[in-house]
Amino acid sequence: MATSIAAETTSYTFDDRHIRWYILGEFEHFVFAILDVDVSQQIVDFLLKFPPNQQIFLHRHLALTNTLVVQGEHRLYEPNGALKEVRPVGSYTSTPPGEPHREGAGDEGGVVFYSVRGKDGILLNDPSKG
> Residue 93 has what pLDDT?
98
> Residue 7 has what pLDDT?
59
Express as a percent the part of the chain with pLDDT over 70. 88
State the amino acid at position 23 in one-letter form. I
The pLDDT tens digits for 20-69 are 999 999 999 999 999 999 988 999 999 999 999 999 999 999 999 999 99
Q: What is the CA radius of gyration of the chain?
A: 16
CA distances from 107 to 21, 44, 53, 74, 99 (A): 20, 28, 6, 11, 25
User: Whole-angstrom Cα distance, residue 108 to residue 17?
Assistant: 16
- Would the pLDDT of 128 be above 50? no
> Residue 12 has what pLDDT?
84
pLDDT band at 122 (very low <50, low <70, confident <90, very high): confident
User: Whole-angstrom Cα distance, residue 96 to residue 4?
Assistant: 32
CA distances from 130 to 22, 55, 62, 71 (A): 23, 14, 11, 27
User: Whole-angstrom Cα distance, residue 92 to residue 55?
Assistant: 20
